[in-house]
Chain A
Amino acid sequence: MRRTSFIDPQLLAKLPPVALKALRDVEGALTGLHQSPHHGQSIEFTEHKEYSPGDEIRHVDWKLYAKSDRYYVKQFEDETNLRTYILLDASASMNYPQHPADLEKRPTKYQYAASLSLALAYLLLRQRDSAGLLTFNEKLQTYLPPKSQPSYLLPIAQAVEQQAPAGDTALPQTLRRLAEIARRRSLIILISDLFTDTETLESLLKQLSHRGHDVVMFHVLDPDELDFPFRDQTLFEDLEDAQSRLQIDAQAIRPYYLQELQQYLEKVEKIAKRSGITYRQVRTDTPMLQVITNFILRRARARKRS
């Protein structure tokens, strides 16, 4: 049964009452849950700074002046709301599986990714953070700038549903475009199967990370892609390129395929590590609630540790 809507109310209802927090300091227009890189007006003391003209006199630490005979200014943490960009891969490769028998058991990668993105958007909007959406295939298809109104979930959902997975994956271009759009430090959630050029990906991710963005990468993969359960002579056809096809004894090629895939996954994981971003591999047969809950709780713990 093909799903007509990617919003699952039952799922949304079950989502944990834990806030999705950015691991890094992010910049927002409003005061909120997330730490801001700017020292603000909150009561959380962070550090001392030598006084320089222009600093507010009221923040001078007089006790320290009494001890050291120097003027030091107290600095306090600032809290802001979170700007999140959700990047949803809508390339043809996300439209897997296509066989009706498989669709009975599990959604396509796009369906899964869309549901995941909407659930995350819902979470963010619920905690009054702003969420935006970018869908892309060979080019950027949809751009919904981040907004914090809870009703913003509806246009996001409409955009996701109207987008049909087709065409090549042009992730680097999309990331470059995002770098131009997101000038302030933001949470960037990329949901894709990452069947793209990994060399360019690494440099772009590093670039985003260096700019202070908190990047999360959900690597959505189908069990067929991970386990390769095929046996007989099979004519494989590329979902993104109709001309690319290969007839082969699936059983014979399986070990070599799995070896290649494993190398690729390890490489992606290393890239994520080197780029300092969060990497989550997601199987489409894993319950989404489990994926989101794990993600949120781990993030909360990590944030607490840092």
Chain B
Amino acid sequence: MNAISFLQPAFLYGLLAIAVPIIIHLLSRRRAVRWPFAAMEFLLRSHRRVARRLRLKQLLLLLLRCLLIAGLAFAFAKPFFKRAQGSSPAQPGAYVLILDDSMSMQYREAPKGPMLFDRAREAMQKWIQTKTRGEDRLALLRGTTANRSQRGEQTELTFDKKTVIDKVKAWQVTYQSSDLAAAIMRAQTLLLKQKGVRAQVIVFSDFTQNSQIVYPRLPDQDITVRFFPVRPLKAPSNRSILSVQVAPAPYVGQDAYQFDVTLRNFSAQAINDLAVTLVLNEMPRARGFAQIPAWGTTQKRFVIQLPQAGNYAGYVQIAADGLPADDRFFFSLKTRKRPSILLVNGDSRPIPYLDELFYITNALRDEQLPFQITIKQATADLPPPQKFDVIALANIEQLPTAWQEQLKAYVEQGGGLLFTMGNQVRPEAFNLAFSGLLPRQLRGVALAAQRPDGTGIALQRHFGEVQANHPIFQKMYRDGIVFQSARASKLMLVETRRAQESGEILWRFSHGPPALLERKVGKGRVLLLTTSIDRDWTDLPIRPFFQPWLQRVFTYLAGGSRFHRGTALRVAQKTRLQLPGQQPIRIVPPKGLPSVLLRPEEGGFPFEGAPKPGTYKFEQQGKPLAILPLSVNIDPAESDIRPLPDRDLQKSGEINQTTLAGFSSQSERLWPFILLALLLIFTFEAVVLRFL
């Protein structure tokens, strides 16, 4: 059945103004001036002649004026002609409304214009007011994925439209990711038991690339899913910070850190000179400009010195756009001074220069460098690895099994480990002992080839190419040729690469075999030098580059633990925080949000998720705790606000066009015609006055 509905029904009260011309008409009749007149005969005669016409004219004018006022009231009420949809209108409807309150709905086309969410909320209210009848029942669900607290939702079907509208009005947009598929599934479950009704799921969303709309349909259920896209009028444009990677920058200095900011442009226009600012502890520390190609990604690197050890909370910020929530990326990190090094000697000698650690200790003893060195024999009782930032195992035959286990945990938690080879190393035992740590399994010792003249003296193999962009080698010399001056007479061959291992070759011998390999284990790093660190197998320790290079190796390895990234969460991500102590800890969110008290449980402090991106600090009994704050960011996928193509939407449901004015494809706007009719009435009135 077709019907007229109104977008601004309050204006219909204006119909009462029809009384005004009627009252004026009646009053003017009553207020007539008394006038004695002589030529009454002509008046009476004229009146007899035209009385009917005059009365008709007056009535017509009164009618036209009433029509004008009624028409104006109607036009202001914005009527539209809606066409009934779905199955038999005789059946009552059961509608589950899903409002996408995800972060992408915060998009604004104009700086002070409405958010997409505001438009969606308004459209949904209008839909409820205009499309539903008294016998229809409604439910209301959120379209976001995480933190399904059901707060503000209407999870039971109700006849009370007003309650639903009030809930829609009170709803606020979130910073969460959308998961419409889950919401549609919940809606289907709600409608599962509804018989003899028109069951429909109504979804108001921006339907971006991130919208999950592929959902399993419940079998044997006649449930219609209808999509109401609320989209920007122009092609949306957005740029966002996808990630911020922090790493030590030993090529600049002991306390230098590099911040790699990944930026993304979600628009068809390239962005030039986008201002990027790095803020640490509320102080802008670096500022630069980035160029991002259309639909492309770019990386901006900041390298700054952080000489003060301690906790740093900060963010990277770019110039604000239509979706400001993804223009800041929060992080936190902790730096420590004086990396402590444990050198485990596997081949101790009484003559210093013959000792395995002679060159390494000399190379690291530099007044400029704050290394704290502990030397232990492999056979002695070794201190717990967690006390150190870097552990070097030089020419080790074997270690206590328990310590080996600790070593593995130590690396996974961020420790640095260096293996160097030597005559003590037994490949099979070594592989067994350090299977989870070695970049590659050891294969066996390779001697340099015999001289062709049979003198038996090994031909020494030159070191070859280095991975020049690795922090160990980066910017050390203009080119890597200087590293090729070293030679080795023996080297440990390693297995060819296996899929499950992530060893990366940083340095090769000139004839191919790896000289230095790296593997990341957990948060830590492992380096394997396939030759000795003393002069037994190589002349590397006496090369001029050896000392700075080795210092850089240890700085690099210590970096994994010299700084520590704080816990990073996504908005609304539930987790158990690993916090010290057994006392409740209060988490202090950014301004404007209430703090939350976390109580310890088995396995950590359960945290229900942060509602907003930002830095969340900790305090206990009113005093701030020296724990690295939480940094919470939005789901980067939400930044991609490109609309999902209609053909993809159509696979999952019916598309209904929603506009600012109403439901265009479902309705015919009437007020332009009413205004035209009013204009005609005005003209007609003028004609009536002139000629009738």
Question: Which residues does A use to contact B, with CB under 8 Å?
Answer: 93-94, 96, 98-99, 109, 193, 195, 222, 224-225, 230, 232-241, 244, 246-249, 252-253, 256-257, 259-261, 264
The complex places the Cα of A195 from the Cα of B44 at a distance, in Å, of 13
The complex places the Cα of A236 from the Cα of B36 at a distance, in Å, of 6
Q: List 11 A-B contacts (CB under 8 A).
A: A225-B38, A234-B34, A236-B35, A238-B37, A240-B40, A247-B29, A248-B47, A249-B54, A252-B57, A253-B46, A257-B46
The complex places the Cα of A96 from the Cα of B40 at a distance, in Å, of 12
Candidates A96, A193, A259; contact of B36 at CB < 8 Å: A96
Residue interface bits B38-52, CB-to-A below 8 A is 1, else 0: 111111111101100
Contact assessment for B47 and A246 in the assembled complex, using a CB-CB cutoff below 8 Å: yes
B46 / chain A contacts, CB cutoff of 8 Å? 253, 256-257, 259-260
Knowing A247-B29, A253-B43, A253-B47 touch, does A239 contact B36 (C-beta < 8 A)? yes
B44 / chain A contacts, CB cutoff of 8 Å? 244, 246
The complex places the Cα of A235 from the Cα of B31 at a distance, in Å, of 9
Contact residues, B232-291 vs A (CB, 8 A): none
A257: nearest residue on chain B (CB-CB)?
Answer: B46
Query: B676 on the interface (CB 8 Å rule)?
Result: no
B533 to chain A, nearest CB (A): 117
B49: nearest residue on chain A (CB-CB)?
Answer: A256
Closest 6 CB pairs of A and B: A256-B46, A238-B40, A93-B38, A233-B32, A260-B42, A96-B38
A238 / chain B contacts, CB cutoff of 8 Å? 36-38, 40
B34 / chain A contacts, CB cutoff of 8 Å? 234-235, 237
B39: nearest residue on chain A (CB-CB)?
Answer: A225
Query: B33 on the interface (CB 8 Å rule)?
Result: yes
B47 to chain A, nearest CB (A): 6
Knowing A233-B29, A234-B32 touch, does A246 contact B43 (C-beta < 8 A)? yes
B41 / chain A contacts, CB cutoff of 8 Å? 195
B31 / chain A contacts, CB cutoff of 8 Å? 233
A232 / chain B contacts, CB cutoff of 8 Å? 28, 32-33
Question: Which residues does B use to contact A, with CB under 8 Å?
Answer: 28-29, 31-47, 49-50, 54, 57-58
Contact assessment for A257 and B37 in the assembled complex, using a CB-CB cutoff below 8 Å: no
A98 / chain B contacts, CB cutoff of 8 Å? 36
A230 / chain B contacts, CB cutoff of 8 Å? 35
Contact assessment for B36 and A261 in the assembled complex, using a CB-CB cutoff below 8 Å: no
A254 to chain B, nearest CB (A): 9
A237 / chain B contacts, CB cutoff of 8 Å? 34-37, 40
Knowing A234-B32, A253-B50 touch, does A239 contact B42 (C-beta < 8 A)? no
Contact assessment for A109 and B38 in the assembled complex, using a CB-CB cutoff below 8 Å: yes
Contact assessment for B54 and A253 in the assembled complex, using a CB-CB cutoff below 8 Å: yes
Contact assessment for B45 and A235 in the assembled complex, using a CB-CB cutoff below 8 Å: no
The complex places the Cα of A186 from the Cα of B49 at a distance, in Å, of 42
The complex places the Cα of A23 from the Cα of B104 at a distance, in Å, of 108
Contact assessment for A222 and B58 in the assembled complex, using a CB-CB cutoff below 8 Å: no
Knowing A253-B47, A253-B54 touch, does A239 contact B32 (C-beta < 8 A)? no
Contact assessment for B47 and A244 in the assembled complex, using a CB-CB cutoff below 8 Å: no
Knowing A239-B37, A253-B47, A256-B50 touch, does A247 contact B32 (C-beta < 8 A)? yes
Contact assessment for B58 and A249 in the assembled complex, using a CB-CB cutoff below 8 Å: yes
Candidates A99, A246, A252; contact of B40 at CB < 8 Å: A246
Contact assessment for B43 and A248 in the assembled complex, using a CB-CB cutoff below 8 Å: yes
B46: nearest residue on chain A (CB-CB)?
Answer: A256
The complex places the Cα of A159 from the Cα of B511 at a distance, in Å, of 155
Contact assessment for B54 and A252 in the assembled complex, using a CB-CB cutoff below 8 Å: yes
The complex places the Cα of A241 from the Cα of B41 at a distance, in Å, of 11
Candidates B42, B45, B54, B57; contact of A248 at CB < 8 Å: B54
Contact assessment for B42 and A257 in the assembled complex, using a CB-CB cutoff below 8 Å: yes
Contact assessment for A234 and B33 in the assembled complex, using a CB-CB cutoff below 8 Å: yes
A281 to chain B, nearest CB (A): 14
Knowing A252-B57, A253-B46, A253-B54 touch, does A195 contact B28 (C-beta < 8 A)? no
A224: nearest residue on chain B (CB-CB)?
Answer: B37
**Which interface residue of B36, B45, B49 has the most chain A CB atoms within 10 A?**
B36
B32 / chain A contacts, CB cutoff of 8 Å? 232-235, 247
Please name 8 further chain A to chain B contacts, defined as beta carbons within 8 Å, in addition to the given A239-B40, A247-B29, A264-B42, sorted by A numbering. A96-B37, A233-B28, A236-B43, A246-B47, A247-B32, A252-B54, A252-B57, A257-B43
**Which interface residue of B33, B38, B45 has the most chain A CB atoms within 10 A?**
B38
Contact assessment for B40 and A244 in the assembled complex, using a CB-CB cutoff below 8 Å: yes
B33 / chain A contacts, CB cutoff of 8 Å? 232-235
A98: nearest residue on chain B (CB-CB)?
Answer: B36
The complex places the Cα of A215 from the Cα of B31 at a distance, in Å, of 46
The complex places the Cα of A109 from the Cα of B34 at a distance, in Å, of 20
**Which interface residue of B41, B49, B57 has the most chain A CB atoms within 10 A?**
B41
B28 / chain A contacts, CB cutoff of 8 Å? 232-233
B30: nearest residue on chain A (CB-CB)?
Answer: A233
A224 / chain B contacts, CB cutoff of 8 Å? 37
Contact assessment for B45 and A260 in the assembled complex, using a CB-CB cutoff below 8 Å: yes
A3 to chain B, nearest CB (A): 19
The complex places the Cα of A213 from the Cα of B49 at a distance, in Å, of 39
Knowing A233-B29, A257-B43, A257-B46 touch, does A195 contact B35 (C-beta < 8 A)? no
The complex places the Cα of A260 from the Cα of B48 at a distance, in Å, of 11
Contact assessment for A236 and B37 in the assembled complex, using a CB-CB cutoff below 8 Å: yes
The complex places the Cα of A254 from the Cα of B440 at a distance, in Å, of 115
B38 / chain A contacts, CB cutoff of 8 Å? 93-94, 96, 109, 193, 195, 222, 225, 238-240
The complex places the Cα of A7 from the Cα of B392 at a distance, in Å, of 145
B57: nearest residue on chain A (CB-CB)?
Answer: A252
B266 to chain A, nearest CB (A): 69
A221: nearest residue on chain B (CB-CB)?
Answer: B39
B61 to chain A, nearest CB (A): 10
B213 to chain A, nearest CB (A): 67
B453 to chain A, nearest CB (A): 136
The complex places the Cα of A219 from the Cα of B42 at a distance, in Å, of 16
The complex places the Cα of A232 from the Cα of B42 at a distance, in Å, of 18
The complex places the Cα of A97 from the Cα of B28 at a distance, in Å, of 24
The complex places the Cα of A265 from the Cα of B113 at a distance, in Å, of 73
A254: nearest residue on chain B (CB-CB)?
Answer: B46
The complex places the Cα of A149 from the Cα of B50 at a distance, in Å, of 55
B42 / chain A contacts, CB cutoff of 8 Å? 257, 260-261, 264
A96 / chain B contacts, CB cutoff of 8 Å? 36-38
The complex places the Cα of A96 from the Cα of B37 at a distance, in Å, of 7
The complex places the Cα of A166 from the Cα of B50 at a distance, in Å, of 31
B33 to chain A, nearest CB (A): 5
**Which interface residue of A193, A224, A230, A248 has the most chain B CB atoms within 10 A?**
A248
A261 / chain B contacts, CB cutoff of 8 Å? 39, 42
A64 to chain B, nearest CB (A): 61
The complex places the Cα of A238 from the Cα of B44 at a distance, in Å, of 10
The complex places the Cα of A259 from the Cα of B44 at a distance, in Å, of 13
